[in-house]
Amino acid sequence: MTREELRSKLAEFKLETRGVKDVLKKRLKNYYKKQKLMQKEHTNGNSCYDYICVVDFEATCEEGNPPEFVHEIIEFPVVLVNTRTLEIDIVDKADTFPQVLQNVVEWMRQRELGTKYSYSMLTDGSWDMSKFLNIQCRISRIKYPSFAKKWINIRKSYGNFYKVPRNQTKLTIMLENLGMNYDGRPHSGLDDSKNIARIAIRMLQDGCDLRVNERIHGGQLMTVSSSVPLEGAPAPQMPRYRN
């Protein structure tokens, strides 16, 4: 089918018609798949988790990013996506890192994440957790938080779902291919997080089963196979200082 034929068919089913041809094709294919499976109830999203917490840290940097440079987190925004209603909630705190981390943990607890509701962290790439948060916890002499030990790397999920190469998974390119423009100021942690959340929502609408695909163990980044049994993230614990 041509792109216009795909758009026409999607419009017929009252589905989103924006995006490049491969995205439209995948969207239509998943719609047919859902109809065939005769889902018990219609939902806007399709997720194994009740909530997805989108994080996109902004850290200090130096021209050329020399290997010896120590990055420190200067923005810690969290965008919470309700996978059933696809509504967004935001926390964006400005304080010392230990206090911000404690505020985020308390914010997550108040929403009963990891207790009443299942959830997963989601990032745009591997560095937020495996590098920036890892380094910052060492600088601040805080134990690495348990809730951040595994996450969804949306770049991997996007590439695998839409069958596109790695160079097509940058934030602005993902938005463009989904027929969306960047909303806000680039490289603002909060704006980046909100745009990543928009991509996650569109992927859920297109039928993507967003699952944890990366974790950190012993300070090392590891890949999580999609065949591994699903588990929700543990309830967030208050950070402990090292003596």
**What contacts 221, CB < 8 A, 6 or more positions away?**
126, 130, 214, 215
> Nearest-CA neighbor of 199 among 181, 213, 215?
181
Residue 46 and residue 204 in contact, taking contact as beta carbons nearer than 8 Å: yes
- Exposure string over 21-43, b if 16+ CB within 10 A, otherwise e: eebbbbbbebbeeeeeeeeeeee
SS (HEC) of 229-241: CCCCCCCCCCCCE
Cα distance from N-terminal residue to C-terminal residue, the chain: 64
User: How many helices (DSSP H) and strands (DSSP E) are in the chain?
Assistant: 8, 8
Phi, psi of 202 (to 5 degrees): -65, -40
Tokens of 202: 């569109």
DSSP bridge pairs for 53:
80, 121
User: Coil, helix or strand for 106?
Assistant: helix
Residue 76 and residue 97: Cα distance in Å, rounded?
Answer: 8
Please spell the DSSP secondary structure of 86-104, one letter per residue: --EEEEEE-S-HHHHHHHH
Catalytically active residues are 58, 187
